[in-house]
Structure 1
Amino acid sequence: MPEPPTLVRRGRLLRIGAAVAVLLALVGYVVMQYVFGGKAEPRCEVVSGDGDGASYEFSAEQAENAATVAAVGTSRGMPERAVTIALATALQESGLRNIGHGDRDSLGLFQQRPSQGWGDEKQIMDPAYSAARFYAHLDKVPGYSRLPLTVAAQRVQRSGYPQAYAKHEPDAALLAAALTGRAPATLSCEGREPVEPGDPAEVRAALVRDFGRDVAPKGDGRTVTVPVTATTGTAGGGAGRHGWELAHWAVAQASALGIERVSYAGREWRVGDSGKEWHKPGKAGEKGTDETGAGAGDGAGEVRIVTGQ
């Protein structure tokens, strides 16, 4: 018995609708490939500096926020353990994403609540501000660096699920080692060829925002140079550690700020051709430094950040 005309038309419309949906999805995919070179969302990776094979892969957005959290901590003189606690907390609370929603009026990386005195909505949605507030509270916890991470984080957050922070500790520790500069050349990103030229002024402003005015970045055309000294950055870490802290920060911010190349201590990261690795440029006759930045070669006393054209 033949189907009624109405059902035939309905079936035909459903097939046409499905075909259109597939076509639109294909067009969207092609556009993303064209605009972003096949990388809709660049990925980053941090590896262990201890040679044990541990690693953690995350997004460019997460890298940007993690770098800010770490820089705010070290600029306040907080130790690496404090940075690990902060990063593990942000991983649990927001997945290291600056989200504008949460339980009740919770907001931002640490899901801080305006109604509980953490600041107003605009302030809490500023990653540098929210990180500074977290560290200010953590610093008041007696002996926090010797406490289990879950206990230290809970003393600040008052979470309903305090044990949840523990699962993020290994990844947070890898991030903290790289972003405080203790583990050289261990954080890298795929990056993205800038669609628009990067703005060196924005790079300098972001450095001051996260590290404070003592960081003193200088500009020369597309290049931002940051002097490396032992008197700023990670407390007691020395110049080499501070240099890698700055260099890793720049790579983590590359997609957001249109950064094309970062070099320090005889190593270079470059968007596109270097991918997720640091390389030694290896020019004939070039003076080098060791990976700590302790040598006397060209550029040993500065991190060079080059924005895209």
Structure 2
Amino acid sequence: MPEPSPSSPKRRGRLLRYGAALVALSSVAGYLAVQYVTGGAGDPGCKVVAGKGAGTYEFSPEQAVNAATIAAVGTNRGMPQRAVTIALATALQESGLRNIGHGDRDSLGLFQQRPSQGWGTPDEIMDPIYSADIFYEHLAKVRDYTRLPLTVAAQRVQRSGYPEAYAKHESDATLLAAALTGQSAATLTCEGRPGATPTDGPDAVRAALVRDFGQGAVQKAGAEVGSKASPTPTASTVPTATTDGRTVTVPVPEDPKDASGRSARERGWQLAHWAVANASALHIERVSYAGREWTAGNTDSRWRATRTEDAAGAGQSAGAGAGSVRIVTAQ
């Protein structure tokens, strides 16, 4: 029986090293491909402006919808604003706030979660509500995550091969979280689609509200579509929606604080900014809240005062109603 060649182990070793290098190269290539496709803010169409010198972030309507959903899921769980900031920074890094069906190995969705690592089925992970919710579920288990550096908190959830990458998105995520949780008023604008014809009108808006905020949250708020109230509206002196079939009015409960510690005004601005973020997808024409109004198609897309001379003296908002968010779809 011939003795094995002394070079055989060396050849095998080289082959193993080459194979390992190829796997690593493929992983890096996959990661870079995701970053190339999803990197940056995308085509502008939406913008968050947080006061003079406080920063600006421009992003696409698609990204705005996903960001608003991530924020809604977080506040629904009673998570603090810091948690929403961490989630948004993670999604900015992992997918560029796009719900993509590819990534490194079997990574999918907004957070590039992997079915093989127990994050859920591919269909579940591709559902933004599910993927955001399970991210927060894992984040909540990280001890003292609100006191940790953002990149450390995100890494303890994600276990990424690039743990320092989250830090570069912290300032943008902070701006987005402040707007999308309602802490910063009248800071999120989008161009929208003026004159577009909706397929479902107010019904599509209400369905999206239920999708992101939950049936109970929308019913608790007494959301009304046109002249048709939700099944379990709460008693309120807030004006009902108009009867032309184009309007969704969501009264904002006057409870001082919710589970995440936000005021009624902050909850109202979250709903108002959510509507603007979804304006292109849902063909929303106008959003009014707290004496301010956003209109699709304005060249500067700013929130403008809606107070009339008479209403100003009474402290009421023209067209919006005190304590309510008014969403008007296109004709």
**Does the alignment reach a TM-score above 0.5?**
yes
How far apart in 2 are the matches of 1:65 and 1:138?
Answer: 19
How far apart in 2 are the matches of 1:140 and 1:250?
Answer: 31
- TM-superposed deviation, 1:274: 5.9
Does the aligned pair in 2 maintain the 1:266–1:281 contact within 8 Å? yes
- TM-superposed deviation, 1:287: 3.8
How far apart in 2 are the matches of 1:87 and 1:234?
Answer: 20
Does the aligned pair in 1 maintain the 2:307–2:317 contact within 8 Å? no
Q: How does 1:36-115 map to 2 (within 5 A)?
A: 43-49=45-51, 51-115=52-116
Deviations 1:122-170 (A, max 9, x none): 1111111110010010001110000000000001000000100000000
- TM-superposed deviation, 1:115: 1.2
For residue 215 of structure 1, the aligned residue among 215, 218, 238 is: 218
Letter in 1 for 2:253: T
How far apart in 2 are the matches of 1:132 and 1:95?
Answer: 18
Query: Counterpart of 1:302?
Result: 324
Query: Counterpart of 2:36?
Result: none
Does the aligned pair in 1 maintain the 2:47–2:190 contact within 8 Å? yes
- TM-superposed deviation, 1:42: 5.8
Letter in 1 for 2:45: R
Letter in 1 for 2:224: K
How far apart in 2 are the matches of 1:288 and 1:278?
Answer: 21
Does the aligned pair in 1 maintain the 2:68–2:180 contact within 8 Å? yes
Does the aligned pair in 1 maintain the 2:186–2:273 contact within 8 Å? yes
Q: How does 1:274-293 map to 2 (within 5 A)?
A: 275-287=300-312
Letter in 2 for 1:48: A
How far apart in 2 are the matches of 1:212 and 1:42?
Answer: 29
Query: Counterpart of 2:290?
Result: 265
For residue 204 of structure 2, the aligned residue among 198, 202, 205 is: 202
* Gap regions ≥5 residues in structure 2: 1-42, 227-244
Tell me the TM-score normalized by structure 2.
Answer: 0.76
Q: How does 1:69-218 map to 2 (within 5 A)?
A: 69-197=70-198, 199-213=201-215, 214-216=217-219, 217-218=223-224
Does the aligned pair in 2 maintain the 1:215–1:227 contact within 8 Å? no
- TM-superposed deviation, 1:195: 3.2
Task: Specify the SS of the correspondent of 1:96.
Answer: coil
Residues 107 and 288 from structure 1, CA distance in 2 versus in 1: closer, same or farther, beyond 3 angstroms?
Answer: farther
Residues 169 and 288 from structure 1, CA distance in 2 versus in 1: closer, same or farther, beyond 3 angstroms?
Answer: farther
Deviations 1:244-286 (A, max 9, x none): 0100000000001111100000000000136421001243312
Task: Specify the SS of the correspondent of 1:224.
Answer: strand
* Gap regions ≥5 residues in structure 1: 1-40, 290-294
Does the aligned pair in 2 maintain the 1:180–1:244 contact within 8 Å? yes
Letter in 2 for 1:268: E
Does the aligned pair in 2 maintain the 1:46–1:55 contact within 8 Å? yes
- TM-superposed deviation, 1:234: 6.5
Residues 230 and 172 from structure 1, CA distance in 2 versus in 1: closer, same or farther, beyond 3 angstroms?
Answer: farther
Letter in 2 for 1:224: V
* 2:235 paired with 1:229: no
Does the aligned pair in 2 maintain the 1:84–1:172 contact within 8 Å? yes
Q: State the percentage of identical aligned residues.
A: 68
Does the aligned pair in 2 maintain the 1:250–1:305 contact within 8 Å? yes
For residue 273 of structure 2, the aligned residue among 245, 248, 258 is: 248
Task: Specify the SS of the correspondent of 1:146.
Answer: coil
Letter in 2 for 1:89: T
- TM-superposed deviation, 1:53: 3.7
How far apart in 2 are the matches of 1:234 and 1:271?
Answer: 32
How far apart in 2 are the matches of 1:194 and 1:156?
Answer: 43
Does the aligned pair in 2 maintain the 1:261–1:271 contact within 8 Å? yes
- TM-superposed deviation, 1:303: 0.2
Task: Specify the SS of the correspondent of 2:197.
Answer: coil
Letter in 1 for 2:202: P
Letter in 2 for 1:135: Y
Does the aligned pair in 2 maintain the 1:84–1:173 contact within 8 Å? yes
How far apart in 1 are the matches of 2:258 and 2:302?
Answer: 24
Deviations 1:220-260 (A, max 9, x none): 01101111124486722111110001000000000011111
Does the aligned pair in 2 maintain the 1:191–1:254 contact within 8 Å? yes
Does the aligned pair in 2 maintain the 1:211–1:233 contact within 8 Å? no
How far apart in 1 are the matches of 2:59 and 2:123?
Answer: 26
Task: Specify the SS of the correspondent of 2:304.
Answer: coil
Task: Specify the SS of the correspondent of 1:168.
Answer: helix
